[in-house]
Chains A and B, each alone.
Chain A
Amino acid sequence: QSVLTQSPSASGTPGQRVTISCSGSNSNIETYIVNWYQQLPGTAPKLLIYSNNKRPSGVPDRFSGSKSGTSASLAISGLQSEDEADYFCAAWDDSLNGPVFGGGTKLTVL
């Protein structure tokens, strides 16, 4: 059972906008920044969003992050087939005294 809660799956058609949510508590998301990682099939995770809403160099502006209270969201606009991947949120947690991850959301592009 992950400390941060994500829906196991999400889907959309090419060109659509999809949102992936991440729910936590006042000991993690509400207090600390949220990061998002993308894991393409059979590969290592890749940093997608850091510090709630910042994109590393090379990440398309189709990807955006936001945070409000104890929840965070990752939005993907102009969905493309290559966006099919697992997406994980992460944040520091006071109770565990370390970074924690969500269980991951598998995004399918129909």
Chain B
Amino acid sequence: QVQLVQSGAEVKKPGASVKVSCKASGYTFSDYGISWVRQAPGQGLEWMGWISPYKGNPKYALELQGRVTMTMDTSTSTAYMELRSLKSDDTAVYYCARTIFGVVIGANWFDPWGQGTLVTVSS
């Protein structure tokens, strides 16, 4: 079955960087994109960006540009998300999700999702 398995929880100090991995299985990794979505404690969902082997450069949320980098290693079917200059506001569960792009502009959805990685930023 299609599955995304993420790396374990991280605790970081403000100003540090974190890199979360997302290993895919059960489908052809290069046929789909991977999005990253985060959820602060008790809050809603926030799209961070996506990367796709066939859609050119990664696309990042405006407010995270300059701090986030998303990459894919097709040889290991693993996607990575690195977030730099961490702040306490970055404390959240970070999810990766396989991204399906529809034929219509703006059509995209996330299925399935990884189990989530808790990143805690604290001094």
> Is A104 a contact of B45 with CB atoms below 8 Å?
yes
Instruction: Kindly identify, within residues 51 to 84 of chain B, every residue whose CB is under 8 Å from any CB belonging to chain A.
Output: 59, 61-62
> Is A92 a contact of B108 with CB atoms below 8 Å?
yes
- The chain B residue sitting closest to A104, CB to CB, is B44
Shortest Cβ gap from A26 to chain B (Å) = 13
Q: A51-B102, A96-B61 are in contact. Are A88 and B45 (CB under 8 A)?
A: yes
Q: Which of B47, B59, B114 has the most CB of A within 10 A?
A: B47
Chain A interface bracket (under 10, 10 to 19, 20 to 34, 35 or more): 20 to 34
Give the complex CA separation of A46 and B62 in angstroms. Answer: 25
Q: A33-B104, A96-B62, A98-B47 are in contact. Are A46 and B113 (CB under 8 A)?
A: yes
Give the complex CA separation of A72 and B102 in angstroms. Answer: 19
> Is B47 a contact of A50 with CB atoms below 8 Å?
no
Q: Mark B90-123, 1 if CB is under 8 A from A, else 0.
A: 0000010100101011111111111110000000
A–B pairs, 28, beta carbons within 8 Å: A33-B107, A35-B109, A35-B110, A44-B95, A44-B114, A44-B115, A44-B116, A45-B95, A45-B97, A45-B110, A45-B113, A47-B110, A47-B111, A47-B112, A50-B100, A51-B102, A56-B111, A88-B44, A88-B45, A90-B109, A92-B107, A96-B62, A98-B47, A98-B59, A98-B62, A101-B45, A102-B44, A103-B44
On B, residues with C-beta under 8 Å from A are 35, 37, 44-47, 49, 59, 61-62, 95, 97, 100, 102, 104-116
